[in-house]
Amino acid sequence: MTPRPAAPPPLTVLQSLVNTRELLENRDDFTAPTGLLAWSEAQGLPCPARPSEADLTRMSRVREALRQLLHGGEGAPAAAAVLNGELARTGTRPLLQAGPPGAEFVGDGATALDTAITRVLATLVTARLDGSLARLKICGAEDCLWAYYDRSPNAVSRWCETSVCGARHKMRAYRARRAAATTS
């Protein structure tokens, strides 16, 4: 799928992480070490030279927690707990600096994956604090759940692509109304 333009930096790393799994095409980039290596390299993040199955599982868990947090709803508190657990595991904490940008996030970085997760979560925390995370959304189509950046003036978009997911949703609603009218 080639939806809307990518989110602006630094949100790009969050969007690209969520979109390493695409439901419509039944694709998951983290089913093999090469996928994690390619994503990490594309994002300029460190990665173990030979990612283990545990590394893939961990990144998949972070990705799905991020997706759920962005999607909101009943699963958001559990997703926040997973992400908070990763913040604690990596020792991610803010470090104030005298000059611009004023603060950065550091972690204990026991492994390359810890360092990568620290950078992803630092972006998440910073975007949440400055309000920019509000425009990074998850498509409302339950069979899509693609991350997109909402550039609409009032930030009210519901689908990654109105012409695809929005059209499918509207067609399903239309057919349901027609079926209900026929049976009445």
**Minimum mean pLDDT among 43-47, 81-85, 98-102, 169-173: which range?**
169-173
**pLDDT score recorded for residue 32:** 97
Q: How far apart are CA 106 and CA 173, in angstroms?
A: 48
Q: Which fold has domain 12-183?
A: Jann2411-like fold (1.10.3300)
Mean pLDDT (whole number) for 59-88: 97
**pLDDT score recorded for residue 174:** 64
> Counting every residue, how long is the chain?
184
**Minimum mean pLDDT among 29-38, 123-132, 170-179: which range?**
170-179
Tens-place pLDDT, residues 95-138: 888 877 777 888 887 899 999 999 999 999 999 999 999 999 99
Mean pLDDT of the chain: 90
Exposure string of 136-165, with b = 16+ CB inside 10 Å and e = fewer, is bbbbebeebbbbbbbeeeeeebebbbeebb
Tens-place pLDDT, residues 144-173: 999 999 999 998 888 888 666 866 666 676
Q: What is the pTM of this model?
A: 0.88
Q: What are phi and psi of 105, to 5 degrees?
A: -105, 135
